[in-house]
Each structure stands twice: as C-alpha cells, then as structure tokens.
Amino acid sequence: MNKFGSETIAVRGGIDTDTQHGAVVPPIYLSSNYTFKGYDEPREYDYARRGNPTRSQLAKALADLEGGAYGVMTCTGLAAITTVIQLLSPEDTLVIPHDCYGGSYRMFDHLERRGLFKLVVVDQNDQAALDAAIALKPKMVWIETPSNPLLRLVDVKAIAAQAKAVGAYVVVDNTFLTPILQQPLSLGADIVLHSCTKYINGHSDVVAGAIITKDHQLGVDLDWWANCIGVTGSAFDSYMAMRGLRTLPVRLKQHQESAATIAAFLNEHPAVAKVYYPGLEDHPQHELAKSQQLGFGAMLSFDLAGDIEQSKLFVEEIGLFCLAESLGGVESLVAHPATMTHAGMEESARITAGISNSLIRLSVGLESVDDLIQDLSQSLDTVLASL
Ligand code: PLP
C-alpha cells in the first residue's frame, strides 16, 4: 500500500527509477521481446504481450491510487471487461445494472446468448428486484455509478455487502469518477475497472483499459487471463496514459469546478427543463454522492425544453463544445444520446429509461468556464427563441 497522497502517487509513477542513465521520466520500452540471461534463465520480462515495464509502471500507479493490491493494463476498457468475465462459467449468474454502459451491455447480452453465463439485468435502486437477483446466488455483481447519461447513483457499500453475503465478486466500473473521486475497493468491491480512454489518459488520444483488484492472487489470475486471451495494453498507450495520469488530480479539480458552475447556470436557464448533476442539491442522490464520492465529477446532462428539433438546433448552434462521443478529455464535448451513444436502443425503451429526445450530455473540459458558458448561453437562447 502506497503511503503517499493521490497527487503524489499520480505524479511520481516511475519517476527517477532509471538506473542506467538517470532519466527523470522513465523511458518507454517498445521491445516486443527480451533476452534470457542464459539457459533456462528468463528475466522479469520475456515477451511484451505477457509483460512490459512501461505497462507495469502504470498498472502499479493505478493500483496504488485505487488502494488495490494488483493492476492489469488492457488495450481497451472493453478488453478489461472481457478479461474480468473470464471468471465466469456457463452455470454462473452475472447481475448487471439496467443502465450500464451500452458497449458493456452489448457484450454481456451477446455472450449470454452463446451460453457463456446467465445474465440478470436489474435496476439496482429497486430493492425488491435487487433482492430477487441476489437470491439467485450470482457469481458476480456488476456496478457502474454514476450511470451514463443520467448520472444516477447506486450505493456501492450496501450492494457490495449484499453481494458478498452470497459469495459474489463485486466489480465496479469506475470510469466516470476515477480513483481520485471514488474508491470502490474501500466500499467493499473486489475489482475496479476503467476505460483509461477517458479521464485517466485525459487527452482523447489513447484507447486503453485497466483492472485493479483488492486481492493480489485475483490480480495475478486476471493478468494471466489478459495474456491468455491477448488483450494486454500496448507500451505506447501505457506511456501516454501514464503521462496523462500525472495531471489527473489537478485536471479533475478544474473539470469539477467548471462542471458545477455550468450545472448551476443550466439550472436557471428557461430553455432547460431539467439538469442531471449529482452536485446539485436537488439531485435525488446528492447525499449519497456526498458520502460515497470524493467529488461530483464533471459529467452532466440536461433535458432541453422542447423536443428533437430543439436538440438539433442546440448542437448545431454550439461552437466550443465538440459534437462527439467519449468523455473525460481536456476539451469539452457535447453529445445527443438519442442519436449518438444510445441510438442502438429501441425508442420506447430509451424513453422509458429516461433518455428523452431532448437530452443533452456534456463532458466539461478545461477551457475557460466563462467561454463555455458564453457558448452554451448563445445556443440556449436560440433554442428559447424557437419554442
Ligand atoms: N465503461 C464505461 C463507463 C465507458 O463509458 C466505456 C466507453 O465509453 C467503456 C467502459 C469502454 O471503454 P473503451 O471504449 O475504452 O473500450
């Protein structure tokens, strides 16, 4: 366990460890293979799919930040998920939240159809539904909080306690908050995973994933699986993500501050019907956010007054926010879930899930918040004039 604060762990990963030249920043090891010292004498690393020094440094830093015992880097966030579900056999049950990331859902759904495990989808805030799912004695309970795009929370400590009582692995996808703002292992989870593509790398130029375990042996097993199925992360991506990680705590401070300012601004604007941001006092789980999280994050969404025409007008008018999927980069992004991230959902299911045609999602970046508000303001005024 690393005794330093998060800022120190994030900045110092691998710094001043180069014994050959004294490089302050650790060099990147691109070699795909490593010599044996001699007959039957392998070194720590032999082949880069199995292990790589650059990747190990990042895995260690992330494990330290999450308070875990072991870290595994994968080539994408979905590869991290693919690795974790290798723990399941056909007779095992996996319980997932009804509003988990669409790509995760698509994978779980298609693998279940091929008989790899049994899948139970529940609203984890519906206690009766959760109780019924836990009564099936699942092998794994999946948690993702806050959810995308409506920023709904679930109580990790309570669900983990319930799941642990029947011997289930508790897995938390911590992509939205990162270890800087939420540490699920301390709330009872066994495994945390990330799409490092988002805040951890933070510059929208890497696709990568990570798994962190509370138990060392479980981490070793998952590392074995990542190598076995061939989904370990590349040295270059690990180097880039390590570079991004060094500024994660300070980036998040500013991301959050700007997101809170923007949420308050949107909350007052007449062209906005409803804002979804856990930092707002009227968010139904504001108190849970305060107790379970170390901050409110920088993702938010809102319903525009009006319908699909107003959404179209809004995204056409906006200038500084890029109309793009993904999140967590230094640049601000706007997404229209109905036609982008959640376009694959049946319209009726989408509306039932609360993802209306007028829902807009923002990933608040690091530009001047005054400029961002100016941009939102002119776009919202155009929407207002159309109503
Ligand atoms: N988990 C969450 C919450 C995500 O938002 C995403 C991607 O958007 C993933 C996992 C998958 O990560 P990747 O795109 O790096 O494979």
127 CA → ligand 1 middle, Å: 27
Does 191 map to a domain? Answer: yes
Q: Is the pLDDT of residue 1 over 70?
A: no
Q: What is the sign, positive or negative, of the torsion defined by CA atoms of 122, 66, 112, 342?
A: positive
- Whether 220 and 281 map to the same domain: the answer is no
Does 94 map to a domain? Answer: yes
CATH number at residue 311: 3.90.1150.10
Q: Whose CA is nearest to atom 7 of ligand 1?
A: 195
Domain that holds residue 161: 6-245
78 CA → ligand 1 middle, Å: 6
Taking only the tens place, the pLDDT of each residue in 78-92 is 999 999 999 999 999
Helix (H, G, I), strand (E, B) or coil at 260: helix
**Is there a catalytic annotation at residue 173?**
yes
Choose the final residue of a domain: 245, 274, 293: 245
CA distances from 337 to 167, 261, 341 (A): 36, 22, 5
CATH number at residue 30: 3.40.640.10
Catalytic residue among 55, 139, 152, 198: 198
Taking only the tens place, the pLDDT of each residue in 112-170 is 999 999 999 999 999 999 999 999 999 999 999 999 999 999 999 999 999 999 999 99
User: Tell me, what's the pLDDT at 352?
Assistant: 83
Helix (H, G, I), strand (E, B) or coil at 216: helix
* pTM, 2 dp: 0.97
- Whether 214 and 321 map to the same domain: the answer is no
**Is there a catalytic annotation at residue 198?**
yes
Ligand 1 test: best mutation among 74, 145, 195, most atoms within 8 Å of CB? 195
Does 49 map to a domain? Answer: yes
Angstrom distance (rounded) from CA 328 to CA 322:
13
Measured torsion, CA atoms of residues 197, 200, 206, 207, in degrees rounded to the nearest 10: -30
